[in-house]
Structure 1
Amino acid sequence: MDKVLFWRPHPSRGPEALDNARNDTLVNRDCLSSPVSDQEVEDPEQVEPTGVQSSGEADHLLEPAAAEGSRVRRGPLVPADGEDPTECLRQFFDDFSTIVPYDAWDKLMRKMGLTQNEILQSRDRAQNTGDALYEMLETWVRCKGREASVNDLLDALAALGQRHAKEKIEDTLVGSGKFVFKEGEAGAAVS
């Protein structure tokens, strides 16, 4: 099998060059099934560069992560059409039960201010295990009233290390068209 190698116009210099050269060589070795010794990788100036990278590709790699929709602090969520935030939030309680891991439900609700007794009573009211979080969220809304906020729920998830659940809930709420990220927040990307 013939090797096709391309020369990069400006080879990297500095401590990253060795890592880049090693990675390029390993990728090249895996793709072309040609053995490469560690000695070949030691000096980045002696390694034949692989891959083609246009200046446009390089510029794209240097763009801020937010341009790709990565998870940056996006600001608080608000109802899209000025609807009642509590009623909009209630529409998604069933979704939250499938998104938030079961073993985090009680911790989440304690973080949001429910007592252990309120959590246990909510579980007793639930028709089945899957409805328990729904009942706990209903109890939370009844206790907090108009102060119950989706942003409190998201903050509690983040504090518990449930970043994936938080992001999935944000995506679900925004994707539904019922919620949007509030404009004008410092450092927040607006959806």
Structure 2
Amino acid sequence: MAAKRLLTLWVILCTLLEAKATSLVATQNPEDTVSVVLKQNDEFYEHNGRICKKCPAGHSVFQHCKSSGTEGVCHPCENNTFSKYLNDFERCLPCTECRPLDEVVLQPCTTTSDAQCACKSGTFCSPSLPCETCHKCTTRCPDGETMVQPCTPESDMLCVKALGPADVTSQTPAAGSNGQILFLLGILFCVTLVVAVSVGICKCRIKDSRTGSVTSVWDSKTIRRLRRKCTHGPQEVEDLWDVQVDQRIRLSSLEYANSNARGSETTPLQTTGSSEEVQVSTEQRRNLVPANGKDQMTALRLAFDIFIKEVPLRDWKRFMRALGLLDNDIDTIALMHVGDMKEQHFQMLRTWHDMNGKGASLDSLLEVLCNMDLKGIEDKIRAALITQGLYVLEE
């Protein structure tokens, strides 16, 4: 009898648990699951908590979607406007108008591409600079120079100094070949000597008993004096050697100091940078990945604000050109958001993102900054991304 009661209670308990599970599944919002998947797709964008499908090229968003995973109402571009990529613009971009006085139309504007303009024949304008007006081409080279490239719509005529008979003779292998060979051998000997002296500096150190600092027996000036006695080369070559020698000595001093620090914990280390700073610099070079499980697209868009804040205004257009945006794209976005510089820069980054789709990444932005010789800005952005919790160092 007791066993029968226990069995009845067990059946009732299982029934209640099954009903509770069914209720939870029924009340779960299916859009939450859909949103997680769609956020990782470049064909969708977020609007008021919903994930909408972007409009195709040649269209703009007339009305945003009413439920996640669907497309809103898209209207085709009209009245001399266009859109080149999948987008969530609420209006198409205005077409570029070629200047009738000094430009010709290479390609007319369509709903999916902007107009392409070029300077008229006999004029040019460099694409790396804002083209306010086309400049007249040079018609002939100065006396003593010869043309190596004619004028094009993007560059002026290029002239170089003409080689005379004496110049041609001086460049032949037979003229003074023995002297040139001896000169090259002398340079090779001096390079070998400098490398040998640099290696010796790494091993020859004097330790100051009062401060505990480490200094080299020979400094870079000694090496420069040895090198100048050997080469007597041009000033530009001497300056390059000076930089290389300084770099070798700084690197050697740092390696020696770090080895001493590992061997004796009581010896104070006096160098231009601590070992902890070197480790931090090495850590910062590791790849960054989104923090807290963020998807790549969301983390990258959140990082746009940091790039907008840290990249200097004077370098912004050059940054955009290096990312692949045309001057027409940059100018059009600026006209659409006159007076709001931050919004202009955000829309430029978003246009770059739409152009590249899944190929757009944080590493691409940071690499472009390095290639532009903005290494200090790239380091500040890396630190800000980590500090604000958007990215973490990859394990």
TM-score normalised by the chain length of structure 2: 0.32
Aligned twin of 2:300: 89
Gaps of 5+ in 1: 1-5, 20-53, 184-191
Q: Deviations over 1:97-131 (max 9, x none)?
A: 22100011111111112122222222223342233
Task: State how far apart, in whole Å, the 1-side matches of 2:213 and 2:287 are.
Answer: 43
> In the alignment, residue 83 of structure 1 is paired with which amino acid?
K
2:376 to 157, 161, 164: 164
* 1:121 is the counterpart of 2:324: no
Q: Deviations over 1:141-175 (max 9, x none)?
A: 11111221111000001110111211111111111
Aligned twin of 1:15: 218
3-state SS in 2 of match to 1:180: strand
Larger CA Rg, structure 1 vs 2: 2
Task: State how far apart, in whole Å, the 2-side matches of 1:125 and 1:93 are.
Answer: 19
If asked which structure has higher relative contact order (CA below 8 Å, sep 6+), I would say 1
Q: Deviations over 1:77-103 (max 9, x none)?
A: 211233221211111322322210001
Aligned twin of 1:99: 310
Task: State how far apart, in whole Å, the 2-side matches of 1:55 and 1:10 are.
Answer: 13
Contact 1:122–1:139 (8 Å) recurs in 2: no
> Superposition RMSD on alpha carbons, in Å?
3.4
More strand by share: 2
Q: Deviations over 1:38-94 (max 9, x none)?
A: xxxxxxxxxxxxxxxx95312887964654523666122211233221211111322
TM-score normalised by the chain length of structure 1: 0.62
Task: State how far apart, in whole Å, the 2-side matches of 1:129 and 1:113 are.
Answer: 20
Contact 1:99–1:165 (8 Å) recurs in 2: yes
Task: State how far apart, in whole Å, the 2-side matches of 1:10 and 1:108 are.
Answer: 43
More helix by share: 1
Gaps of 5+ in 2: 1-208, 223-264
Contact 1:97–1:131 (8 Å) recurs in 2: no
* Number of residue pairs the alignment of both structures matches: 144
